[in-house]
Amino acid sequence: MVRHGAFLSVGGGVAPPRILYSLIVPDSFKATLEDLNEAEFKVAVRRLSKFRCRKELLTKAQERALWLPLKAGFFEYPRRVGTQELAFQLGVSKAAFSDVRRRCLKALLEDYFEH
């Protein structure tokens, strides 16, 4: 699941041996299901819907400025990529990348603690 960018949103027992999971799958839903089936999980899709954010928190450029570091391993420990390389890939200076990242984090945290 992780290699497709999927992550667990909610999980809990329904009735043994069943467990109900809510997943967010930004890349490939079909590939994620295939991986689960190959791992011999019995998967039944109860509902499928497109994720909708409550409001537009980030611009497309800001989303890209967070998505690229996430996929490149910037938030891992140890980091697999540094700010200089990410800034280069985004076509901005290192200072501009740091500023965008800070503004994004602020917007996300304000929204998170508001709700």
- How confident is the model at residue 52, as a pLDDT? 60
Average pLDDT over residues 75-88: 92
Partners of 15 in beta bridges: 18
Tens digit of each residue's pLDDT (9 = 90 or more) over 103-114 = 999 988 888 887
Higher pLDDT, 113 or 96: 96
**Count of positions (residues) in the chain:** 115
Tens digit of each residue's pLDDT (9 = 90 or more) over 23-34 = 777 667 788 888
Q: What is the DSSP letter of 24?
A: E
∠ Cα 85 96 51 (to 5°): 80
Distance of CA 50 to the CA centre of its chain: 14
H helix count then E strand count, the chain: 4, 2
104 neighbors 65 (Cβ within 8 angstroms): yes
CA distance 100 to 62: 7
